[in-house]
Amino acid sequence: MKTLDDIPFSMLDLVAVRQGGSVADAIAIALRTARHVEALGFTRYWVAEHHNMAGIASSATAVLIGHIAGGTRRIRVGSGGIMLPNHAPLVVAEAFGTLAELYPGRIDLGLGRAPGTDGPTMRALRRDRIETEADFPRDVMELQHLLGPVQPGQRIIAMPGAGTEVPIWLLGSSLFSAQLAAELGLPYAFASHFAPRMMHQALDIYRTRFRPSDKLDQPYAIIGVPLIAAPTNDEAEFLASSTYQRIHGILTGDRTRLQPPTESYMAGLRPDEQAAIRNFLAVAAIGGPDTVRERLDKLVRDTGADEFMLVCDVFDPDLRLRSLDIAWDVKQGRT
């Protein structure tokens, strides 16, 4: 049976723009964080594509991946994910093929089926293209083809891209991508950091329907885990109020920059609002070292996940690094 010590840690960064800070500040914090978790021993560092959101600076995802990969040495860097409806597969193959040539063996291509934005912004990204349910599987397989070896008679060749075999991950918050990842024999990441409701069902579908492929001989599943760690439960709860404010903004359509922590923030919300935030964070590890250990141990037992992708939205960059240090020490059994 797996234990916490067996579980690789990775990180997903939304590259939050903080209240009072700039986009340049957010990108600098992301690079500093990537270097820090690389030194700790994290496996990968992913950034997520979002558009038309004042508080998130990761819209040009491939550009940001190149910046972070260039500022680190070992850690894998990738997308969590590229929202495929927004892009032609050839453009994605060329961008990630270029990254793979620049940073061999270090680039991951995580793919999502949602647009990562609202309807009008999606139309601005792809003009009048109408998405159908059949597009995503077809586009994924086209990407596999473009990133694989050039075949005899192949007319469209990604250059760079062809032959780089950039690892493709399927991401999802429902059951669709779990089933597709199983059918194609690809690794899978479930977005339980914001949509935990279907986590167990998605993991079960992925594992039971998995077909070995030339990419993967057995299922491999990552789950997203919100993390706010501090020396005490009370301090962690205080720091988590920045995350609570962000989630409340998502739920009410009032997206803003990441806000500083606020004392007793949750107490000022209605019971239904509190419940919605708690549901959003159902798999979160928020607390002091003992609480974080208890939560992460339970996730290992309950999910059998192969890897944890931590999401850590602490307003103060130094306290964010401290939070990640505490989680790593918990994993190593040092606290």
In a domain, 41, yes or no: no
- Dihedral (C-alpha) 216, 188, 207, 9: value to the nearest 10 degrees? 90
The pLDDT confidence band at residue 1, using thresholds 50, 70 and 90, is confident
From the list 35, 23, 109, the residue with the least C-alpha distance to 71 is: 35
Look-up of token digits 């579908």: 205
Domain count for the chain: 1
Whether 53 is in a domain gets the answer no
Note the pLDDT tens digit of each residue in 267-319.
999 999 999 999 999 999 999 999 999 999 999 999 999 999 999 999 999 99
Q: What is the DSSP secondary structure assignment for residue 282, as one 8-state letter?
A: T
Tokens 């075999």, residue located:
165
HSE toward the beta carbon, residue 147, CA cutoff 13 A:
27
Q: What is the pLDDT of residues 43-101, one digit of tens each?
A: 999 999 988 888 999 999 999 999 999 999 999 999 999 999 889 999 999 999 999 99
Using an 8 Å Cβ cutoff, are 190 and 222 in contact? Answer: yes
Is the pLDDT at 133 greater than 70, yes or no? no
Q: So what's the pLDDT on residue 28?
A: 98
Task: Report which of 231, 214, 246, 248 is spatially closest to residue 314, judged by C-alpha positions.
Answer: 246
What tokens does 180 get? 């597709």
Count CB atoms within 10 A of the CB of residue 310.
Answer: 23
Considering the chain, what is the average pLDDT of its residues? 94
80 inside domain = no
Q: What domain range includes position 239?
A: 224-335
Residue 262 lies in a domain: yes
Question: Is residue 113 predicted with pLDDT exceeding 70?
Answer: yes
Compute and round to an integer the Cα radius of gyration of the chain. 19
Q: How far apart are CA 318 and CA 32, in angstroms?
A: 10
pLDDT at 118 over 80: no
Q: Is 77 exposed, middle or buried (0-12, 13-18, 19+ CB in 10 A)?
A: buried
- Whether residue 263 is contained in a domain is answered as yes
- Domain-embedded: residue 266: yes
pLDDT at 91: 97
The whole-number pLDDT of residue 116 equals 52
> Residues 220-234: pLDDT tens digits?
999 999 999 999 999
Q: What is the pTM assigned to this prediction? A: 0.94
The answer to whether residue 250 sits within a structural domain is: yes
H helix or E strand, kind and range, residue 285: strand 285-287
**258, β-bridge pairs:** 18
The secondary structure of residue 112, as a DSSP letter, is E
Q: With respect to residue 300, please indicate whether it lies within any of the assigned structural domains.
A: yes
Q: Cα–Cα distances in Å, from 118 out to 82, 123, 125, 172, 259?
A: 15, 9, 11, 17, 22
Residue 258 to residue 219: CA distance in whole angstroms: 35
